[in-house]
Amino acid sequence: MAGEAALRAEALELQPVGALAPGRLQALAARLSRRVHLPVHQLAPADLPLRKVNGRDQLDAGHLLELLETRATAEARLLVGVTADDVAVPVFTFVFGLARQGGRACLVSLARTDPEFYGLPADPELRDGRAVCEVLHELGHLASLEHCANRSCLMSFAGNIEKVDTRGERFCDDCAARLPHWLAAHAGTGAATSGYCHRNEPA
């Protein structure tokens, strides 16, 4: 059955990939804990044989996902790789994250969640709010959801940061109905009116 790993999940594990700024993983784990009804564990950094996309200074997201999937062997756990590096697949300039539908591992890049990446002033609240939304989107894929046509749904495809912000932080009702309980628990609740990932996040 598709998405069985997500249905059976009893914990999430955050796997740092490469160096992360102090406190970033903790901040992500804390925010994620408020959005999922599962324990969120932080793993120690792992020495992974990372690979760059040919001719580009970006991590090969497909390769990294394969590395994570081979490590995601624990029953009832989903593995979320977290990197500060920019990641891409050969056919896209970049990706915010990657997951295989129904898989048990996914990855997110924090690089483009940071307003400073775009030459804008630092905004840790916005940055961290976007990061947790990225993780939730990829977890949606692990729960077998595909991209949603509803532009204000967390499962809609975002090819740039503006779309990340306009799709907001909530799953639409149709998507929420297909999510495992631990991920759907907060779907559709709260006044998700601003459309910005960070606006409705508790501090």
Summarize as ranges the residues that interact with Zn ion (CB under 5 A): 148, 150, 153, 155, 172, 175
Closest distance of CB 122 from Zn ion, Å: 27
CB of 85 to Zn ion, least distance (A): 19
Query: Active-site residues: which are they?
Result: 138
Q: Are 59 and 33 in contact (CB under 8 A)?
A: no
Nearest distance in Å: CB 145, Zn ion: 8
Closest CB to Zn ion among residues 47, 146: 146
Taking the least distance from each CB to Zn ion, the nearer of 25 and 175 is: 175
**42 versus 102: smaller Cβ distance to Zn ion:** 102
CA distance 68 to 81: 7
How far apart, in whole angstroms, are the C-alpha atoms of residue 22 and residue 122? Answer: 16
CA 109 to CA 97: how far, in whole Å? 6
Q: Are strands 59-60 and 87-88 parallel, antiparallel or unpaired?
A: parallel
Phi, then psi, of 115 in degrees rounded to 5: -55, -30
Residue closer to Zn ion by CB (options 164, 172) is 172
Cα–Cα–Cα angle for 112, 68, 20, rounded to 5 degrees: 40
Give me the least distance between CB of 30 and Zn ion, in Å please. Answer: 24
